[in-house]
Structure 1
Amino acid sequence: MNVWLNFLIESLAFGAVFMYGSTGEILTEKAGHLNLGIPGIMCMGGAGGCLVLNIIGGWNLPPVLVVILGVMGALMMSMLMGLIYSFLTVTLRANQNVTGLAMTTFGVGLMKVIMSKLDPTVYLVGPKKIFRWPFAERTDALQYLGVLFFVGVAIAIVASWVLYRTKVGLRLRSVGENPGTADAVGINVTRYKYLATCIGSGISGLGGFYCIIDYMASQEAYLSLEAFGWLSIALVIFALWRPHMTIIGSTVFGFLFSCSSYIANIEWITVTMAAKPLLKMLPYVVTVLVLIITSIRNKRENQPPASLGLAYFREER
């Protein structure tokens, strides 16, 4: 494959990490909660999945079952983090920003402790047999876009359909826009907030698992997860709080983030060492530009939920 095709495939595969994280964050924000704990949740999802794979590594299980158990481990750990966040911000009505930052600090630290105790020769071997397509040739693009990439695309599409084409999605969006009105018409606000946050956390956690096991497939992959988590939150703004837009946005982010590596390989382009950090700033610059443009256009459908970041006090409705 030539350098441009490699560049495109790398952008798609890299962007899937952001796609998982931002899709989960969109579900949470649609319920009115700004979860700045996504980086920590992605870290814990990756650590939980790798922990399960390390435990079952010597059991000689079928590769498909190994992957399923790993995914379940990632989901359980990340959804547990989401449940803790929900309890603190929904039930106890703690400040969402402070709680999210605390969850990130806790998640990143605990992940580093867990991953330092695991054997990468165990948790990185089994899943490789099933994360790639058995019918694809060795040089086929499908060998670089694993099964979990397409699972992430499917999750983004399904999440968008649920939000905008079902009663559940309509009720969830109403909770994020005006929880008092939603409560008055009989919608269980607390239930929807808990479900959206826990499910969103589970999806984000899969992004961390995908990054470590499938995309990077290396022992050092977990060291980059925190930065990817913050980029996932930025992608929510780029996608205008629409899950299906994360597919496009994540590809753009992956493209921009890969520029520093691939542009240097193009013969007629000279990239100095000082320019590489500037290229890595591109995703954040684009996010700021999108935020400015959406603010100028001031369309309601391009704005965040009206009650985003605000605790709901039922007695004040």
Structure 2
Amino acid sequence: MGFLQILEIIVPATLVYAAPLILTALGGVFSERSGVVNIGLEGLMVVGAFSSIIFNLFFADTFGALTPWLGLLVGMAIGGLFSLIHAVATITFRADQTVSGVAINMLALGATLFVVKLIYGKAQTDKITEPFYKGDIPLLSDIPIIGDIFFKDVYYTSILALALAVVAWFVLFKMPFGLRLRAVGEHPMAADTMGIKVYRMRYIGVFISGLFGGLGGAVYASTIALDFSHATITGQGFIALAALVFGKWHPFGAMGAALFFGFAQSLSIIGSLLPLFQDIPNVYMLIAPYVLTILALTGFIGRADAPKALGTPYLKGKR
């Protein structure tokens, strides 16, 4: 097997598993750049996956091939609304942000499984009939070599995730909104004296994290899982959180880390096709992403500089 053939296997598989991580990690960037720790990314992915699957199952006959795209919008909307629980608790009532995030994770899983059992009488939905399908990206797939590796037989959602990483970078570092958001995460009192509404910016940051987290869960459910159960989202939110820290709270850094973790997740599927991994038992491939997550964090978390006001509730007028 030639090197280009190996890349044609690795890159599309990596993009499939990395796309939900990229999207969710980008949401974490917006929240934590505003100064609010968001451990609840896992829960946001759960509600996004749940709502997109339920929408798909109920409306596939109505919207046809458009259903999965509308499901992404539904997952985003529900994720954004659900994140407001975390925002109210941590910003308005100044609750402990880590505890609130853990509560969000538990509430999301419990509530969604309760609704699934009410609807289907079991802890798992049916398989969706209108998932996303792989295809070639027009024009880009015709580029020699690069087109074969990156733009042939891929999900459109994978390219969407990469494009949104660029958009997130532009918004955070090239627009006044991004400057204000980063200011309230670094020195909220100084930002307040400059007329920036700290509470509003933090609410927006958490809400955007909900939109991205819900979108990440919806993409995972509509491309990989194809149904919803207690095992649909199993640690992907925490891996996205690790990508956020590993990427030093920067959109491109988070994207790069998510691609790394996505590759690790894809090994359990494509490992048997690659010469270097053929003889490794599949169980080791399954645990690889979590082991690499731990190793990455233990090696780099001490070197990553978080926003200075991250995790600190802001009380107007108090130093």
Using structure 1 for the length normalisation, give the TM-score: 0.85
Task: Say if 1:316 and 1:42 are closer, same or farther in 2 by CA, change over 3 A.
Answer: same
1:46 paired with 2:27, answer no
What's 1:297 paired with? none
1:57 paired with 2:67, answer no
What's 2:132 paired with? 128
What's 2:314 paired with? 312
- CA positional deviation for 1:261: 4.5
Secondary structure of the corresponding residue to residue 120 of structure 1? coil
- CA positional deviation for 1:166: 1.2
1:188 paired with 2:213, answer no
**Which residue identity does 2:176 align to in structure 1?**
K
**Which residue identity does 1:57 align to in structure 2?**
A
Aligned with 1:233 (options 232, 241, 262):
241
Task: Say if 1:30 and 1:13 are closer, same or farther in 2 by CA, change over 3 A.
Answer: same
**Which residue identity does 2:236 align to in structure 1?**
F
- CA positional deviation for 1:141: 6.2
What's 2:109 paired with? 108
- CA positional deviation for 1:115: 4.4
What's 1:198 paired with? 207
Consecutive unaligned residues in structure 2, runs of 5 or more: 143-147
- Give me the CA root mean square deviation: 2.6
Task: Say if 1:47 and 1:310 are closer, same or farther in 2 by CA, change over 3 A.
Answer: same
Judge conservation of contact 1:211–1:221 (CA < 8 Å) in 2. no
What's 1:31 paired with? 34
- CA positional deviation for 1:76: 1.6
Instruction: State the Cα deviation string for residues 149-186 of structure 1 (Å, max 9, x = none).
Output: 11111211111111111111111111001111111111
What's 1:290 paired with? 300
Task: Say if 1:58 and 1:181 are closer, same or farther in 2 by CA, change over 3 A.
Answer: same
Distance, in Å, in 2 between the alignment partners of 1:52 and 1:151 is 21
Q: Percent identity?
A: 23
Equivalent pairs counted in the alignment come to 302
- CA positional deviation for 1:3: 4.8
What's 1:299 paired with? none
Using structure 2 for the length normalisation, give the TM-score: 0.85
Instruction: State the Cα deviation string for residues 58-98 of structure 1 (Å, max 9, x = none).
Output: 32x2523x234212210121011111111111111111111
**Which residue identity does 1:120 align to in structure 2?**
D
Judge conservation of contact 1:257–1:283 (CA < 8 Å) in 2. no
- CA positional deviation for 1:262: 3.7
Distance, in Å, in 2 between the alignment partners of 1:288 and 1:156 is 25
Judge conservation of contact 2:132–2:155 (CA < 8 Å) in 1. no
Task: Say if 1:263 and 1:53 are closer, same or farther in 2 by CA, change over 3 A.
Answer: closer
